[in-house]
Amino acid sequence: MSFSTDRDLLSLEPNLFADAVFASQERLSVPDGAISDTTLTSASADFEAAQVESGDIVLVAAVPCEVIQRVNATTLTISKLRGQLADAAIPPGDGTDLAVVHRTFAPQAKAVHDALLARLGIDVDDQDATLTEDAIVSLGVMSRLETLGTLARVYAAAIVPGGSHNATLQQKADDYRRRFDLACRTAVVLLDLDGDGRADASRDLGVIELHRV
């Protein structure tokens, strides 16, 4: 499972999808998007094949919109970025013949996700492990950490040789790396070890345990 979404990234960094195109993975691009209220349709799109899910971001006429729901292969429910997930959807504005692009930073998020699990002592490659990520109770904490770590990776990956904006991208990469490191040093993650749905253990990510092998 993932602790964060592309929407989480956008909520912290509003310019992300303009700044870091080079570092993103493009999964869909169609020219015939149509918006009515909060419904986006495209006859030529296959949102299912493109793996567009709730929490993803689609660029509609270059404007980032959050995906609330994939209704079917050609239809999404979308919104301008909301302050909170519980807020009502904000219509982006009606239109036709709109360019629709779906980009994601899921590969970077997956790398951060696995690194965080390793810091908790969870081995994603151990099929017989008794401690798995299902034991994590502090999902909000993990979402914040994964979001910051992903932004640090994305901005570092967005730097291109000779790029005119490299200084700005490097500054953002360094800033998010510092914020990620600080958040890790102060994070305490609650775990449910016996599967009863209640936390009964904790891990301090600021403490590194060394074991003799």
The string of pLDDT tens digits covering residues 165-197 is: 899 999 999 999 999 999 999 999 999 999 888
In this predicted model, what pLDDT tens digit does every residue of 127-156 receive, in sequence order? 777 889 999 999 999 999 999 999 999 999
Return the closest-CA partner of residue 104 out of 67, 130, 70, 144. Answer: 67
Query: Please, which residues bridge with residue 203 across strands?
Result: 189
* pLDDT tens digits, one per residue of 37-68: 999 999 999 999 999 999 999 999 999 999 99
Q: What's at 141, amino acid-wise?
A: V
Tell me the average pLDDT across 7-18: 96
Asked if residue 210 has pLDDT above 60, the reply is no
- The reported pTM is 0.91
Q: What is the pLDDT of residue 124?
A: 81
Residue extents of the structural domains in the chain:
25-104, 107-204
Retrieve residue 58's tokens.
Answer: 């689609």
- Higher-confidence position of 126 and 119: 119
Burial of residue 52 (CB within 10 Å: 0-12, 13-18, 19+) is buried
Q: Which CATH class is domain 25-104?
A: mainly beta
Per-residue pLDDT tens over the stretch 71-115: 999 999 999 999 999 999 999 999 999 999 999 999 999 999 999
CA distance 131 to 189: 14
pLDDT for the residue numbered 208: 52
